[in-house]
């Protein structure tokens, strides 16, 4: 929405409110638009009843003593801090993904990413089943892989909500956490968790890349991710000795000397996760069969 108050007085008022309430904030989004968040005066009994600008201004005045002259709302909505996860992501022909499978407070801005990654994990598996080449159990790997990822986000958003309390305990924890974040290893761990780039599906023992999403490597033909737009499997091969013959209708074979690839070759699933890493042709054929079904004659 837009505001009439000047930025200096907004900063001062927000700092004052933050002494006792951290779930409050005004932040400029550019083009004169601001994102404004204020605690509600209770839980909406009927979620279908839309939030109104008048309610919003009243809550701003209750917390900050001013409504900052908010007007022209682009979007008004309520959200809560409920933390819930469906026990099952698949029952027969029904699959849950996104907020239908998990909800949590928006701390860290993770919900959209989590839901899109659910869909990305599931999409190619559904396509494989529809196309008739899905190996046995492929659809069940969706819940096995994505449920633990969702649970981890619920855990970290719960922790972040606990850190937002204004009482002495959470305040002390927040200060301790801020100091810990100065350690590069801790910072890297938290960054990997919040961005989900550290997600590693449990595909068994093996190479360090197994189960991880491969980063966007530079190749002779361009960037790796440019080669994965087709939603097919990809054998990225530094050896030039391997073959995906029999799976050419599902898997592309790219030979490239890419020095940044920490393996002789990797087999990528259509969602970009590493299904196999190594250099043994028989081993590769086993992985191709396990993820992409039987070879064509």
Ligand X SMILES: Cc1cc2nc3c(=O)[nH]c(=O)nc-3n(C[C@H](O)[C@H](O)[C@H](O)COP(=O)(O)OP(=O)(O)OC[C@H]3O[C@@H](n4cnc5c(N)ncnc54)[C@H](O)[C@@H]3O)c2cc1C
Site for ligand X contains 109 (CB under 6 A) = yes
Nearest distance in Å: CB 24, ligand X: 13
- Characterise 215 by phi-psi region: left (phi > 0), alpha (psi -120 to 50), beta (else): beta
Name which of 109 and 168 has its Cβ closer to ligand X. 109
110 sits near ligand X (criterion: CB under 6 A): yes
User: Does residue 75 bind ligand X (CB under 6 A)?
Assistant: no
Smallest gap from Cβ 214 to ligand X, in A, equals: 22
By the rule CB under 6 A, 157 interacts with ligand X: no
Number of residues that bind ligand X (CB under 6 A): 10
Give the residue with the Cβ less far from ligand X, 83 or 113. Answer: 113
β-strand pairing of 84-85 with 102-103: antiparallel
The residue from 13, 17, 115, 268 that contacts ligand X (CB under 6 A) is 115
Start-end of H helices in 70-183? 111-131, 140-163, 168-180
**Choice from 111, 150, 233, 278 touching ligand X (CB under 6 A):** 111
Query: 21, 33, 83, 113: which one contacts ligand X (CB under 6 A)?
Result: 113
Selected from 79, 186, 187, 281, the binder of ligand X by CB under 6 A is: 79
CB 63 within 8 A of CB 24: yes
How many Å apart are CA 210 and CA 208, to the nearest integer?
Answer: 6
Please identify, using beta-carbon distances, which residue of 150 and 233 lies nearer to ligand X: 150
**Residues 277-285: contacts with CB within 8 Å, 24+ apart?**
277/206, 277/207, 277/209, 277/210, 278/207, 279/239, 279/241, 279/242, 281/241, 281/242, 281/243, 284/235, 284/242, 284/244
Residues 88-107 that bind ligand X (CB under 6 A): 98-99, 106
Name residues whose C-beta falls within 8 Å of residue 84's C-beta, 6 or more positions apart in sequence.
Answer: 102, 103, 104
| Token pair listed for 194 | 């919040």
Residues lying near ligand X in the complex (CB under 6 A):
79, 98-99, 106, 109-113, 115
């Amino acid at each position: 929405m837009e505001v009439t108050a000047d930025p200096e007085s907004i900063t001062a008022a927000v700092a004052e409110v933050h002494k006792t309430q951290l779930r409050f904030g005004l932040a400029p989004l550019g083009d004169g638009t601001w994102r404004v968040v204020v605690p509600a005066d209770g839980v909406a009994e009927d979620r279908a009843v839309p939030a109104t600008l008048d309610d919003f201004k009243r809550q701003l005045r209750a917390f900050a003593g001013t409504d900052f002259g908010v007007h022209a709302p682009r979007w008004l909505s309520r959200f809560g801090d409920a933390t819930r996860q469906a026990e099952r992501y698949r029952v027969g022909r029904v699959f849950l993904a996104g907020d239908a499978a998990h909800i949590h407070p928006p701390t860290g801005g993770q919900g959209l990413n989590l839901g899109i990654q659910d869909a990305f994990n599931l999409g190619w598996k559904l396509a494989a089943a529809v196309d008739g080449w899905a190996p046995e159990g492929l659809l069940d790997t969706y819940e096995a892989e994505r449920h633990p990822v969702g649970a981890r986000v619920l855990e970290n958003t719960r922790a972040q909500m606990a850190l937002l309390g204004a009482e002495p305990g959470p305040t002390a924890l927040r200060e301790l956490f801020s100091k810990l974040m100065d350690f590069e290893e801790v910072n890297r761990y938290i960054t990997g968790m919040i961005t989900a780039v550290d997600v590693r599906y449990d595909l068994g023992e093996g190479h360090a890349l197994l189960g991880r999403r491969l980063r966007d490597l530079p190749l002779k033909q361009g960037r790796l991710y440019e080669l994965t737009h087709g939603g097919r499997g990809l054998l990225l091969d530094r050896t030039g000795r391997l073959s995906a013959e029999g799976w050419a209708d599902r898997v592309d074979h790219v030979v490239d000397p890419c020095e940044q690839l920490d393996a002789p070759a990797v087999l990528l699933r259509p969602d970009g996760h590493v299904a196999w890493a190594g250099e043994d042709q028989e081993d590769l054929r086993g992985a191709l069969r396990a993820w992409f079904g039987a070879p064509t004659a």
